[in-house]
């Protein structure tokens, strides 16, 4: 199982590349869609990491994929300058996926 990063930050991409995570740097909604399609098509990709700004840019598509696909898991990560905490994102994801408030 591989991770795949969809980021709008070269710094984030380089940092995660050093940890062995492949990915792409994009900025437009069409590029995000293409990157999501690429990750879904790759049977080895089990987790897609997407920065919060890009996730919000294609919010409806990301939500739809999370609700309908069992693979890959799509997880939002904070990007440079984003507000909020990772815990909030995880809590929101669990609430959307399971339907309970934790």
Q: b/e map of 13-28 (b: 16 or more CB within 10 Å)?
A: beebeeeebebebbee
What domain range includes position 33?
A: 2-98
- pLDDT tens figures, 17-64: 999 999 999 999 999 999 999 999 999 999 999 999 999 999 999 999
pLDDT score, position 91:
67
Q: How many domains, the chain?
A: 1
Q: What is the CATH number of the domain that holds 89?
A: 3.40.50.10580
Q: Per the confidence metrics, is the pTM higher than 0.85?
A: no
């Amino acid at each position: 199982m591989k991770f795949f990063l969809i980021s709008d930050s070269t710094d984030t991409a380089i940092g995660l590349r050093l940890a062995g995570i492949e990915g792409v740097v994009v900025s437009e909604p069409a590029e995000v869609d293409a990157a999501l399609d690429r990750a879904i098509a790759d049977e080895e990709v089990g987790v897609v990491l997407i920065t919060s700004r890009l996730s919000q840019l294609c919010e409806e598509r990301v939500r739809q994929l999370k609700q309908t696909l069992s693979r890959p898991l799509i997880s939002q990560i904070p990007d440079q300058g984003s507000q909020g905490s990772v815990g909030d994102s995880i809590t929101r994801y669990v609430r959307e996926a399971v339907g309970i408030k934790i």
